[in-house]
Every structure is written in structure tokens, then in C-alpha cells.
Chains A and B, each alone.
Chain A
Amino acid sequence: MTFRKYLVLAGVTVFAAAGDSMLSHGMKQAGNVSLHHLQSLLLAVTNPWVALGILLLLAFFASYMNALSWADLTYVLPATSLGYVLLALVAKFALHEQVSPLRWLGIALISGGVSFVAGGPALTSHHEEPAKDILADSPTPSASSPNTAHAASVGVKR
């Protein structure tokens, strides 16, 4: 894991949380959207908060795909959930909202789960060979007898 890859994971977390909250803020300003008035959905996009939220969610998607190109799904997903923790902390310390004890427990559980995964290797699957022959443009099919020691060393190296 390089510093740049940690930055990508941080991007996944921050962009998802910021995008979701801006979208929700903007949609509350834009009012109700029903299936019978789909044109109101187009109007909603002109709301600056909604537009900014969509941009941030696109950035989230780009960093999510980036992360999935070098890490397992079960490694990346807990990172996205850190966004919930971030939102609760912003609500508490920037917006001075009340955060109930049950929510603090939720924050603790998510943080614990993320630290569990972060300690292990990022990549354990066998969909590609290590970076040295990356230009050989043919994804190796996963072996029927996975060499786990090899996989773990690849994960650690990255």
C-alpha cells in the first residue's frame, strides 16, 4: 500500500459522505419529486447543492473504481462505510446536532470493523498477475488451487 492508494481510499470515504449530504440538502430545498411529475426532477438538478452533490458522487465513483482495480471488494467496502462515521462527526461538531448513545455505538462498531480489515492484505483474489507483466493484456483466470501464500505476499507488497 502506497500513500497514493490511501489517498484514493480517503477519497472514496470523503466524496461519498459529502456527495450524499449535499444531495440530500439540495433535494430538501427542491421539494417532493413524484413519478407523475418527472419534470420536477430536471428542475432539481439546477439546484446548486444537487449539482455539486452529483459532481461529488461522480468523484466518489471514480475513486471507488480506482480502488477496486487494485484491492478486494471486501477490503474497499468497509472504507466506504467510514463515510457514515464522518457524517455523524460532522453532525456533532460542525452542525452541533445531538448524537445519541446508540449512534456512538454504531460509530464504534464501524470503526472497529474497518480497523480489522485495514490490518490485513488488500488483495487476495487471483484475477490478475502481479504488476510486472501488466502489459500482457490477458487477465489470468483464477486458479483452481489458489496459492494463498503467493496471494498474501502480493497483497502485502501492494
Chain B
Amino acid sequence: MRHVYTWSGILIVVIFSVIGDILMARAMKQVGDVHEWFRRSGLWTVVGRILSNSNFFLAVSAMAVAFFSLLFSLSWGDVSLVAPAAASLTFIGNAFAAKIFLHEKVDRRRWIAALLVAGGVALLAG
């Protein structure tokens, strides 16, 4: 039973991390290149554009949910399982979600990278 709790905790963390990352990436693409905006109209324009973007706030909320579910999952399962499992599954999930929702061109190069990084993170934190 404890296994079920731990893995559903991990799954919830992964889902909300991916949602947060995808929404944040979309928000910042809508805001536009901040270097360009900063150079042309200064810092307050950049801050204003970010704060007037609804995806930004949705992203922050999703990341907050992910953070607190991570805290709860850590109290159910071992750190050495929960942290690396959540981190590496988030990498894989993000690669899928970026392709589907952000229309990023995830070519073979990036798939290999996502798998290598996910494996490496699992080994490092394990």
C-alpha cells in the first residue's frame, strides 16, 4: 500500500512539474525575447509584460502544487527514490509535452539527450 502512495505521489509531482514548465515556457514565448524588450523599452516593460500574462500565474500555481506534493511525497517515501524518480520522469514528460503542446521540434538529438539526462539524474541522486 505504501508503494502505491509513494508512486502516486511521484506521479502527481511529475504531472504538475510538467504542466508548470510547459505553461512557463509558453508564457515566456508570448512575452517575447526579454533581452530585446529590455534593450528597447527597459526593465519595467519586461516586468509589466510578464505580470500581465495569465499563463505566467498558472505556471507559478502549478509549480507551487508540484513543490508541495513533493514535500508530501517525501514524507511517504524515501528521498533516494522520490527525488530522483520525480526529477528524471519530469525530463521525459517535458520532452513529450514540449513536442505536443509547444510544437517544439524534438528531433532524435533531443530525445537522446532527454533519455541520457533522465538516466544520469536517476544515477546521481540514487
Contact = CB atoms under 8 A, between A and B. Distances in A.
B116 interface: yes
Given A74-B110, A119-B109, A127-B30, A134 B37 contact: yes
A149 to B, nearest CB: 11
11 contacts: A73-B102, A76-B25, A106-B120, A110-B116, A111-B120, A116-B110, A116-B112, A116-B116, A120-B110, A134-B40, A142-B103
A139 B34 contact: no
Interface of chain B, helix or strand or loop or mixed? helix
Nearest to A68: B28
A100 B110 CA distance: 28
A127 B33 contact: no
B6 to A, nearest CB: 18
Contacts of B106: 74
A139 B114 CA distance: 28
Interface of B: 21-22, 24-26, 28-37, 40, 50, 91, 94-95, 98-99, 102-107, 109-110, 112-117, 119-126
Report which residue of A102, A110, A131 has the largest number of chain B beta carbons within 10 angstroms of its beta carbon.
A110
A117 interface: yes
Interface string A79-113: 00100110010000000000000110111111111
B105 A125 contact: yes
